[in-house]
Amino acid sequence: MGNDDLRRRKTPCGFCMAVFKWIPVVFITAVIAWSYYAYVVELCIRNAENLVGMIFMLFFYHIALILFMWSYWRTIMTSVGRVPDQWRIPDEEVTRLFRADNPETQKRILNSFARSLPVTNRTMNGSVRFCEKCKIIKPDRAHHCSVCNSCVLKMDHHCPWVNNCVNFYNYKFFVLFLGYALVYCLYVAFTTLHDFVQFWKYENNGYSEQGQLNGSGVGRFHILFLFFISIMFAISLVSLFGYHIYLVLVNRTTLESFRAPVFRVGGPDKNGFNLGRYANFCEVFGDDWQYWPLPIFTSRGDGFSYPTSTDQSGEAPTVQRYAAMGDTTTNRLDGNPTDKLIDAIPLDTTPNNHDQPPPQHQHPHQVRSQNQAQPQPQQARHQARPNSLNLQPALELPLANGQSSNCSTAAVPSSQMVVVNLGTLPEDANGSAVIIDMVGDHSGAAAGVAAPKDACRQPNGDVPLN
């Protein structure tokens, strides 16, 4: 309990509230005490026909009752725990936090203080969770209980029937309490079913004439109500116990089922602590199966840090996986100039050849041949074309950072020139020079539209400059 809660108890009003909180516990204890009298005294002792059967009924009844009461008592008396001082923010930092101008400043203060603490949960704005009443950094899965007036580790909910918060230290006891309470109610209902039917069958003179119940009918009243109450409690406990078994198997609290925890990496995720059904069960009930049915604390961990599903699967967080890819952003101008498409200028200097569109059946990427008007002898052609062909200004292309609208290379420095070595040009069957167009599709050429004769192309050969 918190210090404020202890101070409130010292006042008359606080004392009355503390007594009022125990009313549900007193009611449950009174019902159990009455059921014990109705079952043991009225059903077994005064209404027993078979001594051996009565002994077996009382034996199993007391086993269920002991486990039931043991779990219930441990759930009530187990403390919610206390958050260590290392999670508490000094008064100077709290003053700075409350005087911060904007949420970003508060966020930096909290993140700086919680840098050495094992916290993975965050608020919706990404800040470390902070309790303004307790002045502490909230551990993972911890919440402040207004009834207990303190931060509770792995808080599930505050249960008035046990006058305590269901938390990390008593969650196993609470689940066992629900399970054994269900077993207790079902056992009482099934063992009283026969007598319940007999009472309705022989309502007038069945059992009273046998002398097994007194003439006032008090014994019958106890057995009838014992059956009804055990059935009603069993129906309510079936849904509650089944729901908490589900929460145990998915490693989720009641608060987390209504509001998903927010993680530093990944954001809100209801299955953030899900490690698998068996691992989740062992996290609450422990690794030794011999202690599973006993209300003895065997839960894993310390209540401050919990393994997450990401840690269990061994997968790196999304941010780390993207960071491992390195820098994938590149500048187009940083690439190799030879990676850019180059359009070779035709060697034919005849003006009419440029004005004629290419044949419709010819693809822009196909090899084109141009017949010369006056073919030269074979030996002369080989002498005119060395292995490293020097195409006057047409094939000396400036880089992207030194482009000029003028096709002439006189205004471009030599350090920014790219000389393309085409090697030995192939020939067709007629001995004419063959030009290979390295540029992609040209919409104008494909449509049969010829470019002007004096049009100058950019280095990539896409758009002519007029």
pLDDT for the residue numbered 301? 92
Please state, in angstroms and rounded to a whole number, the distance separating the CA atoms of residues 214 and 207.
Answer: 9
Q: Which phi and psi (to 5°) does residue 79 adopt?
A: -75, 155
Least reliable range by pLDDT among 12-16, 136-140, 156-160, 192-196: 12-16
Match 């965050």 to its residue by tokens: 122
How far from each other are the two terminal CA atoms of the chain, in whole angstroms? 86
Please state, in angstroms and rounded to a whole number, the distance separating the CA atoms of residues 155 and 157.
Answer: 6
- In which band, very low, low, confident or very high, does the pLDDT at 463 lie, cut at 50, 70 and 90? very low
- Runs of H (alpha helix) within 139-263: 171-201, 218-250, 254-258
Regarding beta strands 136-137 and 262-263, do their DSSP bridges make them parallel or antiparallel, or are they unpaired?
unpaired
- In which band, very low, low, confident or very high, does the pLDDT at 217 lie, cut at 50, 70 and 90? low
Query: Which is more confident, 273 or 423?
Result: 273
- In which band, very low, low, confident or very high, does the pLDDT at 290 lie, cut at 50, 70 and 90? very high
| Tokens standing for residue 417 | 């020139």
- Identify which of 386, 416, 382, 415 has the alpha carbon closest to the alpha carbon of residue 398: 416
Match 């849904």 to its residue by tokens: 239
CA dihedral 62, 66, 68, 71 (to 10 degrees): -170
Which residues are paired to 435 by β-bridges? 368
Query: Which is more confident, 426 or 344?
Result: 426
**Which stretch of DSSP H or E encloses residue 164?**
strand 164-166
Asked if 168 and 82 touch (Cβ cutoff 8 Å), the reply is: no
pLDDT for the residue numbered 285? 96
pLDDT at 159 over 90: yes
Strands (E), 275-414: 368-369, 396-398
Match 């100039």 to its residue by tokens: 337
Which residues are paired to 267 by β-bridges? 263
pLDDT for the residue numbered 142? 95
The mean per-residue pLDDT over the stretch 413-427 comes to: 45
Tallying the residues shown for the chain, one arrives at: 466
The mean per-residue pLDDT over the stretch 257-280 comes to: 92
Q: Which of 159, 165, 185, 282 is catalytic?
A: 159
Q: What is the pLDDT of residues 356-371, one digit of tens each?
A: 444 444 444 444 444 4
- Runs of H (alpha helix) within 22-90: 23-36, 51-77
Please classify residue 389 by burial: count the beta carbons closer than 10 Å to its beta carbon, then call 0-12 exposed, 13-18 middle and 19+ buried. middle
Q: What is the pLDDT of residues 55-96, one digit of tens each?
A: 999 999 999 999 999 999 999 999 988 888 899 998 888 888
Interaxial angle between packed helices 12-21 and 23-36, expressed in degrees from 0 to 180 and rounded to the nearest 10:
30
pLDDT at 439 over 70: no
CA dihedral 169, 170, 175, 178 (to 10 degrees): 180
- Identify which of 344, 432, 428, 422 has the alpha carbon closest to the alpha carbon of residue 388: 422
pLDDT for the residue numbered 91? 87
Please state, in angstroms and rounded to a whole number, the distance separating the CA atoms of residues 136 and 91.
Answer: 11
Please state, in angstroms and rounded to a whole number, the distance separating the CA atoms of residues 48 and 39.
Answer: 11
Please state, in angstroms and rounded to a whole number, the distance separating the CA atoms of residues 401 and 403.
Answer: 6
Q: Quote helix, strand, coil % in the chain, to nearest 5.
A: 45, 10, 45
- Identify which of 323, 440, 435, 335 has the alpha carbon closest to the alpha carbon of residue 385: 435
- Identify which of 433, 159, 377, 180 has the alpha carbon closest to the alpha carbon of residue 292: 180
Match 């209404």 to its residue by tokens: 47
Q: Which phi and psi (to 5°) does residue 72 adopt?
A: -65, -40
Least reliable range by pLDDT among 56-60, 112-116, 461-465: 461-465
Tell me the longest C-alpha to C-alpha distance in the chain: 141
Instruction: Please state, in angstroms and as integers, the Cα–Cα distance from residue 43 to each residue in 62, 234, 310, following that order.
Output: 14, 19, 56
Match 């009844």 to its residue by tokens: 61
**Which stretch of DSSP H or E encloses residue 262?**
strand 262-263
pLDDT for the residue numbered 50? 82
Query: Which is more confident, 170 or 410?
Result: 170
pLDDT for the residue numbered 203? 57
The mean per-residue pLDDT over the stretch 300-310 comes to: 90
pLDDT for the residue numbered 431? 54
Which residues are paired to 152 by β-bridges? 143
DSSP class of 334: G
Regarding beta strands 368-369 and 396-398, do their DSSP bridges make them parallel or antiparallel, or are they unpaired?
unpaired
Task: Look at the alpha carbons of 200, 203, 209, 214 in this order and tell me if their dihedral is positive or negative.
Answer: positive
> Catalytic: 134?
no
